[in-house]
Amino acid sequence: MANPTPVADFIRHTLASLEDNTFVRLILSGGAASEGAPKRVLARLIRLRGEPHLSLTLRHATNDITKNLKLTEVPKWLGFQLNGNFRSALLGTTVREWQLNFPPDKEPWLISHKPHNQKAPSRDHDEAKQSWLDATARDWLFGLGVCDERGRVLPSMADKHRQIHQYLEILSHLLKDCGWVTESSESRLQAVGEPAKAVTTNTLTLADMGCGKGYLTFGAWHLLCRRCKVPARVIGIETRAELLRDITQIARKIDTPGLEFTAGEIASAQLPKVDALIALHACNTATDDAIRRGIELGAKLIVVAPCCHKEVRPQLGQPGPLAAVLEHGIMAERMAEWVTDGLRALFLEWAGYRTKIMEFVSSEHTPKNLMLAAIREREPFTNTAAREQIVELKKFFNIEHHALDGLISNRR
């Protein structure tokens, strides 16, 4: 009998670990460039309706998709994925780890080494959803009225609690992408609930513009300072005096070193040089003010979740192929939102950022659920393709003015 191939061996080890419950994690990386294919896949073993499933997170360039497989479906799925779709695969179990690699123009090879984790993670489907908001978050969640003194989420605040957790989940991946937290730390946290470890020893400065009641500002501070142990200064900016007074008192009462709140407008607040600038649900062109401030202040990370989209809607033309569709008001309204946020993403690309557009949890507090996350990766204002795309998109929809036009007109 011929010796099994490295791919067959890897699949065999994966299935055996699922069968004997030694499975810890599976990571497929270096996804093929084909349209619609994920760039990366993360998998964990869960119990779903009493049955074991392999829970997948498929990471695409602009969004993540989750999918659950029955164990009987895993051999066919994994065999397909390892047939040229990825450049490497990592299987972690409690007894060994196996790394499968696909070198260009060479046969795949498989190596093994000691396990990173010798204890299997919880198979509870909801385990990961609780990891960021554990007992260490109880003081500020109670102070903000999200939970009671025993840490139980108030029924009326369940949506807000989910929103905070989803925000921290997204932000945790962005911290890793920025190089401020290691991937191994993140995996360790998700696997066994341990805090992540910071890569940087420098103090990071994060500005949360228009922070409102401070739910997500406290959350960002909690993630950075308590969970990931990143030395950080988190600044919440808010115009409403009564909100500013309340959240400042809560921060002082529970002792939150590194967290501060100050009065100011998004467009003009006095700020130091920042590493990250966040503006969630800033109305209309206030989102553009936040993007502009982030670029001007040299932020490596900019995250915005736009709210209303009033500027482009009155200007929106009806290009020939879309005229009949855009005669319907609701379609024109949605198109104006898509074009507005699409232009924002292109302006960020023009400014040197790699930009993702993804869904963000909505609730009665957050009627819009789109988020733009941008990480600076190159010199600003050198991506001529993005510049031309901005010009062409505005021309196609007959848009004469956008709040970020100065990023182009000032650099002719």
Please write the tens of the pLDDT for every residue from 36-50.
778 889 999 998 888
Mean pLDDT, residues 276-280 taken together: 96
Tell me the two tokens of residue 140: 């500020």
Q: What is the pLDDT of residue 363?
A: 39
Across 116-258, the runs of DSSP E, i.e. the strands, are 204-209, 232-238
Cα–Cα distance for residue pair 108/208, rounded to 1 Å: 46
Is the pLDDT confidence value at 341 over 80? yes
Q: What is the pLDDT of residue 34?
A: 67
Mean pLDDT, residues 224-248 taken together: 95
Cα–Cα distance for residue pair 384/350, rounded to 1 Å: 7
Is the pLDDT confidence value at 10 over 80? yes
Mean pLDDT, residues 201-217 taken together: 93
Cα–Cα distance for residue pair 87/99, rounded to 1 Å: 11
Cα–Cα distance for residue pair 191/67, rounded to 1 Å: 19
Residue 200 to residues 115, 154, 225, Cα–Cα distance (Å): 26, 36, 12
Cα–Cα distance for residue pair 55/273, rounded to 1 Å: 40
Lowest mean pLDDT among 63-67, 168-172, 325-329, 338-342: 63-67
Mean pLDDT for all residues in the chain: 87
| Percent of the chain scoring above 70 in pLDDT | 88
Q: What is the pLDDT of residue 205?
A: 97
Cα–Cα distance for residue pair 267/230, rounded to 1 Å: 28
Q: Please state the separation of Cα 234 from the chain's center in Å.
A: 18
Residue from 227, 237, 318 nearest 277 by CA: 237
Q: What is the pLDDT of residue 195?
A: 55
Tell me the two tokens of residue 160: 């807000």
pLDDT tens-place string over residues 304-317: 998 878 888 888 88
Mean pLDDT, residues 329-358 taken together: 91
Please identify, in words, the CATH class of the domain defined by 127-409: alpha beta
Element spanning 112, H or E: strand 109-113
pTM: 0.67
Which 3 state secondary structure label does DSSP give 361?
A: coil
Tell me the two tokens of residue 352: 């040197």
Q: Where in the chain is the domain with CATH 3.40.50.150?
A: 127-409
